[in-house]
Amino acid sequence: MEKPSWLNKKINLAACHEMKDFLRVSKLHTVCEESLCPNISECFSEGVATFMILGGNCTRGCKFCAVNKEKPSIIDWNEPKRLAKAVKELNLHYVVITSPARDDISDGGAELFYRTIEEIKNMDNSIKVEILIPDFLGKSEALIKVASSKADVISHNLETVPFLYADIRPQADYKRSLAVLKALKELNRNIFTKSGIMLGLGEEEKQILDVFCDLRKSECDFLTLGQYLAPSSKHYPVKEYITPDKFRFLEKTAYNFGFKKVKSSPYVRSSYQASQFLKPA
């Protein structure tokens, strides 16, 4: 399927070298690189990155994702200090931290999320921190740990409509993910919760609107909508290219459902321009 004209964004790899070199010296991963994000040159050239803790290998096999599925690495307990140092050197005021799913760890990595946030906030409490978490298999202890951190935003992506989960996300569970978002809000009313879905995987409009409804029932505050782009020919194929007009319609509709902030356009990703979600409208 040929890409339409509105998906003509060029990736300037030359603009990424400085950030890539910095990350290698700092021994840090980013989801920008691991997921082959099309926004990488835009963000890296501005000195912005979404850090990925707990290694670059995932224990799940989602068909849309480019993150490696090899044997997960051993937890590096020095990673929080390295990441905090990188935040300082990059002079970041808003930090997004994610991880692959780590079902091999009893708490899914929640403790390392907590320690990483703690290092950053102890360094400078004015820095805003957003974490994009896996579902931790719904374990209450893990959710309590991250909810009790000083994260300003906790994001957990539904990724797609429930109808497609069995085929695209066989190790995930739609209702479990909704329960995660609901539990986080119940555990800490001071945090903002956020989720995102990809479009173009074969979903229907009514199914998208049903997801909006389910997210608002879980008191999700923020929403991102973007076009799915297959990382390679081996990944799940794109079924449809969603027009910019349709993205604008869905953004307006999502606001009508009660979301506090919505970003909806073809190249939106869950952590793209994340700091804007906390800015006044």
| Domain contains 4 | no
- Could you tell me if residue 5 is inside a domain? no
- pLDDT tens-digit readout, 25-82: 888 888 777 666 777 777 776 767 788 899 989 999 899 988 888 889 899 999 999 9
Q: For position 40, which CATH number holds?
A: 3.20.20.70
Phi, psi (deg, nearest 5) at residue 46:
-95, 5
Task: Note whether 57 and 73 are within 8 A (CB).
Answer: yes
**Residue 121, in any domain of the structure:** yes
Would 7 be classed as within a structural domain? no
What total number of domains does the chain contain?
Answer: 1
Instruction: Assess if residue 24 is contained within a domain.
Output: yes
Indicate if the pLDDT at residue 251 is higher than 90.
yes
pTM: 0.93
Q: Which domain holds residue 240?
A: 14-276
- 2 in any annotated domain: no
Position 281 in a domain: no
Give a yes or no: residue 81 inside a domain: yes
pLDDT digit string, tens, across residues 87-125: 998 888 899 999 999 999 999 999 999 999 999 999 999
pLDDT, one tens digit per residue, over 193-219 is: 999 999 999 999 999 999 999 999 999
pLDDT value of residue 104: 95
